[in-house]
A and B are shown apart, each in its own frame.
Chain A
Amino acid sequence: MTKYDFVGKDVPRVDADVKVTGEAMFTTDVKLPNMLWGRMLRSPLPHAKILNIDTSKAERLNGVKAVITGEETPFVFGVSHMDQTPLQTEKVRYVGDPVAAVAAVNLDTALEALDLIQVDYEPLPAVFDPEEAMKEGAPIIHEGVERNIAANPRYNIGDVEKAFQNADHVFEDCLETQRVAHVCPEPHNCVAVWDQSGKLTFYYCSQMPSVTRVQLSKALGIPESKIRVITNNVGGGFGSRATSKFPMDFAAIVLARKAGRPVRIEYTRDEEFIYSTFRHKFIMTVKTGIKNDGTITGRHITNVCDNGAYSDYGPVVTNVGGAMQGTLYRFMDYRYDGYTVYTNLPYGGAMRGIGNPQVHYAGETQLNMIADRLGMDPLELRLKNVVRTGDETASGAILKSCGLAECLEEAADKIGWKEKRANPVPNRGLGIACGVHFTGVRLSPGIDADFAGATLTVNDDGSVNLATSCVDIGSGSSTALTQIAAEVLGIEIEKINTIFGDTETCPMGWGSRASRNTAIGGMAVQKAAEDARKQILKAAGEKLEVHPDDLDIRNSTVFVKSAPGKSLDVADVVRFNRYRKDGQAVMAKSHWDAPSQLADPVTGRGNFSMAFSFGAKAIEVEVDPGTGRIKVLNVAASQDLGKAINPLGAIGQIEGAVHMGLGFAMSEEIVLDDTGRMKNNYLLDYRVLTPLDMPPVSPILVETDDRAGAFGAKGVGEMATIGTPDALVSAVAGATGLFITDLPITPEKVLMGLKRKESK
């Protein structure tokens, strides 16, 4: 076991000091001189032609500096399908679809101006259910998109029908998951400002500022060199600020140009719930063939993704769920039919796990139901079928490291699986589920890249400036990257200044999504640090007149391995290197592409991620049969994360993910009325669990030997979100004898389910 100075230690977050004093700047704190307040006018109708927009009264209002409509925002954008424009000109497709925007001297005036804009609509028939939307004769939401199917990601591997024939039992079950919101603490907001040279500076809470720049450049038709994106600290992302662009972004940019002043647009909390995307609702059918000995012979999953009005991440989300179900168990006959379907509703997007948690929920819950039906132990059933190290899975993933079985055993052990199941207590139950997620991913057809960048300079005094493409959205990436740099360079953490977020000073990368920062961002940092280390050792070797191979660096001291007394401060080496004839700086750069492959366009199979994280959740509950209230007694959350660069950080991520997972399972739901307006877009009735609702959580870090990512690290944040509702539903079934699968499982659903069972 290698002993490290910094990697693997509970180093306190490098940004915590400024966050606990309130000094840390977020995009909501950006104030520029002469800044105006922007607001968007949103459609009150779910599907309608725009006949006329009259902004004249709004323009005349004292204090209004610019008013725009879709005529001034003819930009096309999207994530994989470019099907969206910021402000609509032809028709609106959901309640909330923006049609105009104003910028005024204060928010009151902007709101007053919106009331003065007159829009004439001609309502069109609307469709709110994806299965209805796919039928012949349904209203078409986007021209030319037949049956409203935006995407149809499919996997057809092996022969699933044969697998069903070979099975002793074939089960088919329908399972759905509900829409849930990210609830990012910092609302979506941006400030746009142009200068005389035609340069746009765009302050935005982005998870990937360099990608934001590329997208803006493409959409606006101006060179990237004329766009500067600045991201400060980000108050949570969870996928809502990844590749998605928002009408608000373009509205602010165009208003700023028209007004000649900076424009801020900021979502109110009720907008943030529903217009910043959310986890898609999936309607799934799972068909599984299984032998009497517990071997799963094959699986066929159909998934109808209720996308909402614009595709955004929908196609990717639908695809990911499919790919991952071919990466968990050893069956090689697998079919997935995914449909990303337009509906006249607000649209979903990427949310922590991007489609994986939902499809896992269906697969794992069905597996628990099957175990129940066949009288099998759900843990044993899984251990019999899970993928293992060295496997090439149905989806084509090659598992260089896989701690899935160990995760299951650890979680089960922690919860007391065997003893408690042998000695059942009335009204108590146990549930278990497992999952897999990727570390960075190549699942967007045609985009054969998954990279991160880092640039590193060692200063005259031996301190380090490290610029990364990874944005720390709260996950602790800056800290982990600093630890990696410190470890490689032999320079202390406090001396390293890690920055991100400014496209003028930081390298390009896919940013913070797909759980890639530590492993992939870390490799870019590691490579840059290795390069810088070589430069230091070379210069030190010259000064000390030894071969660089005889040197090592620790605590900012370069020393001769065989004669540690012979040493130099890193600072001295840097200065020696720089201040001489033909001197050199110690500067390094790295652009690191993860060794993953795009899927084969014909089979759909591929080793689409460089490493896979695995995990298991085991939950014990007690149900009150008189009220239906579920008391979660314990959650054991085990995770194979390769190497824990910062164990306390990983534990914090897992605990937060369990909180989100329990909310998904028990209390959170976006409730829409019959036109798609969100009814509960306020925190009283969109129930994020409070500290008093949180059960004891036992995170278990499982380390495996992976060689792909920095120091063997694999992704954490998304895998940790998988499996909680699956295990919870199963635990409630253990306690009540009822599989209540309609998420969120509220006390009402439990009690009414029990009453119905009683009356039979």
Chain B
Amino acid sequence: MPIQSYFQERWGQAMKRKIRLTVNNETYDLEVENRRTLLEVIREDLHLLGTKQMCNMGECGSCTVLMDGQAVNSCITLAVEAHGKKIETIEGVARDGKLDPIQEAFVAKGAVQCGYCSPGMIMTAKDLLAKNPQPTEKEVKTAIAGNLCRCTGYVRIVDAILTAADTMKE
């Protein structure tokens, strides 16, 4: 029999937990199993497809979202852990149809090739620049070390983040 029924029989528990997720300032009341990751819930339940799955093991950063302002790998975060926390995904970055300075810099500086790593990269950059508005090149590289890009060699991405930092200074 399927796993869910098996568990119900063995443990006699209601398997779904009610959680409230605040994602990009919108509230979602959901019922999820404890084992669901935040990435799964974001993509499958909330249909926000901008956050990507590349490795599903917390090793590549393409699933990065902000949780209370902190960049986390949503593929190794339980959805239930996000209850009561403020989640931001790539969909929430541009405001009123206008790209934010990090996104603008990515576009202008050639930091986007295939685009699969871009959402995760941008969310990581947001965490970095919020904590460290004028990072050095080394600090940028350290911050994005957990975001894998196979297309750019990171050069233009680092350039874009430093450019965004300068723009945001003004």
A residues in contact (CB < 8 Å) with B: 10, 12-13, 15-17, 19-26, 28-29, 31, 61-63, 108-109, 112, 182-187, 233-236, 238, 268-269, 473-476, 648-649, 651-653, 655-660, 682-684, 688, 690-692, 694, 697
Q: Of all chain A residues, which has the CB nearest B158? A: A691
Q: Is the CB of B2 within 8 A of A63?
A: yes
Are A109 and B2 in contact (CB-based, < 8 A)?
Answer: yes
The answer to whether residues A235 and B91 also contact, given A112-B3, A656-B150, A692-B142 and a CB cut-off of 8 A, is no
Please, which residue of chain A has its CB at the minimum distance from the CB of B93?
A21
Which residue of the partner chain B has the closest CB to A182?
B150
In the complex, B50 has a CB within 8 A of chain A: yes
A-B contact pairs, 25 of them (CB 8 A): A10-B110, A20-B99, A20-B106, A20-B119, A21-B50, A23-B50, A24-B115, A26-B116, A112-B3, A185-B116, A185-B151, A233-B114, A235-B116, A236-B150, A476-B113, A652-B113, A652-B152, A655-B153, A657-B153, A690-B141, A690-B145, A691-B141, A692-B138, A694-B153, A697-B153
Residues in B whose Cβ lies below 8 Å from that of A17: 99, 107
Residue of A nearest to B147 (CB): A691
Q: Taking CB as reference atom, which chain B residue is nearest A683?
A: B59
A19-B115, A235-B114, A688-B150 in contact; A13/B155 too (CB < 8 A)?
Answer: no
Report whether A186 and B110 are in contact in the complex, using a CB–CB cutoff of 8 Å. no
Q: Is the CB of A22 within 8 A of B49?
A: yes
The answer to whether A236 touches B94 (Cβ under 8 A) is: no
Give the residue name and chain of the A residue nearest to B154 (CB).
Answer: A691
Per DSSP, chain A at the interface is: loop
Provide the bound-state CA to CA distance between A655 and B154, in Å.
8
Q: Tell me if B122 and A20 are in contact (CB < 8 A).
A: yes
Chain A residues within 8 Å of B157, by CB: 691
Whether B106 contacts A475 by the Cβ 8 Å rule is no
* Contact B116 A21, beta carbon cutoff 8 Å: no
Bound-state Cα–Cα, A602 to B147, Å: 51
Let me know if B85 is at the binding interface, CB within 8 A: no
B155 touches A694 (CB 8 A): yes
Query: In chain A, what residue has the closest Cβ to B94?
Result: A21
- Distance from A48 Cβ to chain B, minimum over Cβ atoms (Å): 30
Q: Which residues of A contact B154 (CB under 8 A)?
A: 659, 691, 694
Contact B103 A187 (CB under 8 A): no
Which of A10, A19, A236 meets B112, CB within 8 Å?
A19
B59 near A682 with CB under 8 A, answer: yes
Task: List chain B residues, Cβ under 8 A from A269.
Answer: 54-57, 60
Residue of A nearest to B144 (CB): A691
Residues of B within 8 A of A10 (CB): 110
List of A residues within 8 angstroms of B119 by Cβ: 20, 22
Count chain B residues whose beta carbon lies closer than 8 angstroms to a beta carbon of A: 54
On chain A, the residues within 8 Å of B56 by CB distance are 268-269
* Contact A655 B51, CB 8 Å, known A20-B122, A22-B90: no
Whether B1 sits at the interface, judged by CB under 8 Å, is yes
Q: Which residue of A lies closest to B108 (CB)?
A: A12
Supposing A112-B2, A185-B117, A476-B113 touch, asked if A29 and B49 sit within 8 A by C-beta, the answer is yes
Of the candidates A20, A186, A235, A649, the one whose C-beta lies within 8 Å of that of B103 is A20
Question: Known: A17-B107, A19-B118, A187-B54. Contact between A655 and B150, CB under 8 A?
Answer: no
| List of 4 A-B pairs having minimum Cβ-Cβ separation, nearest first | A22-B50, A474-B114, A19-B115, A235-B116
Asked if B21 CB lies within 8 Å of chain A CBs, one says no
The residue of chain A having its C-beta at the shortest distance from the C-beta of B58 within the complex is: A683
B3 touches A183 (CB 8 A): no
CB within 8 Å for A236 and B156 given contacts A682-B57, A682-B59: no
Other-chain residue from A20, A109, A185 in contact with B62 (beta carbon distance below 8 A) = A185
B47 partner residues in chain A, CB cutoff 8 A: 31
B52 within 8 A of A: yes
Give the chain A neighbours of B140 by CB distance below 8 A: 691
**Which residue of B89, B112, B144 contacts A20 across the interface (Cβ within 8 Å)?**
B112
Q: Binary interface profile of B, 109-137, with partner A (CB < 8 Å = 1, else 0)?
A: 01011111111001000000000000000
Q: B39 near A: Cβ within 8 Å?
A: no
CA separation between A108 and B2, bound complex, in Å? Answer: 8
Q: Tell me if B60 and A683 are in contact (CB < 8 A).
A: yes
Whether A28 contacts B52 by the Cβ 8 Å rule is: yes
**Nearest-neighbor residue (CB-CB) of B48 within chain A:** A22
When chains A and B are docked, how far (Å) is the Cα of A235 from the Cα of B55?
Answer: 13
The residue of chain B having its C-beta at the shortest distance from the C-beta of A25 within the complex is B49
Complex CA–CA separation, A653 to B112 (angstroms): 11
- B141 near A186 (CB under 8 angstroms)? no
Expressed in whole angstroms, the minimum distance between the Cβ of B1 and any Cβ of chain A is 6
A657 to B149: give the CA distance in the assembly, Å.
Answer: 12
What's the nearest-Cβ distance from chain A to residue B18, in Å? Answer: 21
Q: Which of chain B's residues have a CB closer than 8 A to the CB of A476?
A: 113
Q: Does B37 contact A (CB under 8 A)?
A: no
A63 to chain B, nearest CB (A): 6
Question: Which residues in B have their C-beta under 8 angstroms from that of A21?
Answer: 50, 90-91, 93-94, 99, 103
Compute how far the CA of A187 lies from the CA of B150 in the bound complex, rounded to whole angstroms: 12
Task: Name the CB-closest residue of A to B97.
Answer: A21
Return A106 CB to nearest CB of chain B, in Å. Answer: 9
List of B residues within 8 angstroms of A61 by Cβ: 2
- B53, CB-defined interface residue at 8 Å: yes
B108 / chain A contacts, CB cutoff of 8 Å: 12
> A17-B99, A648-B110 given. 4 additional CB < 8 A pairs?
A185-B52, A235-B116, A682-B57, A694-B154
B148 interfacial contact with A, CB 8 Å? yes
Residues in B with CB closer than 8 Å to A653 are 113
Please give the distance in Å from A250's CB to the nearest CB on chain B: 24
A474 neighbours in B (Cβ, 8 Å): 113-116, 151
